[in-house]
Chain A
Amino acid sequence: QQKVQQSPESLSVPEGGMASLNCTSSDRNFQYFWWYRQHSGEGPKALMSIFSDGDKKEGRFTAHLNKASLHVSLHIRDSQPSDSALYFCAASELASSSFSKLVFGQGTSLSVVP
Chain B
Amino acid sequence: NAGVIQTPRHKVTGKGQEATLWCEPISGHSAVFWYRQTIVQGLEFLTYFRNQAPIDDSGMPKERFSAQMPNQSHSTLKIQSTQPQDSAVYLCASSHPGQGPGQLYFGEGSKLTVL
**Nearest Cβ in chain A — how far from B23, in angstroms?**
11
Residues on B with beta carbons closer than 8 Å to the beta carbon of A105? 42
- In the complex formed, the residue of B with least CB distance to A91 is B102
B12 touches A (CB below 8 Å): no
Count of residues in A whose CB is under 8 Å from the partner chain: 25
The answer to whether A101 touches B45, judged by C-beta atoms less than 8 angstroms apart, is yes
**Nearest Cβ in chain B — how far from A95, in angstroms?**
8
A59 touches B (CB below 8 Å): no
Assuming the A-B contacts A42-B108, A46-B104, A103-B45, are A98 and B97 also in contact, with contact meaning beta carbons closer than 8 angstroms in the complex? Answer: yes
The answer to whether A99 touches B42, judged by C-beta atoms less than 8 angstroms apart, is no
The answer to whether B100 touches A43, judged by C-beta atoms less than 8 angstroms apart, is no
Residues on A with beta carbons closer than 8 Å to the beta carbon of B97? 98-99
The answer to whether B93 touches A43, judged by C-beta atoms less than 8 angstroms apart, is yes
Interface residues of A in 78-114 (CB under 8 A from B): 88, 90, 92, 94-95, 97-107
Which A residues contact B (CB, under 8 angstroms)? 32, 34, 41-46, 49, 88, 90, 92, 94-95, 97-107
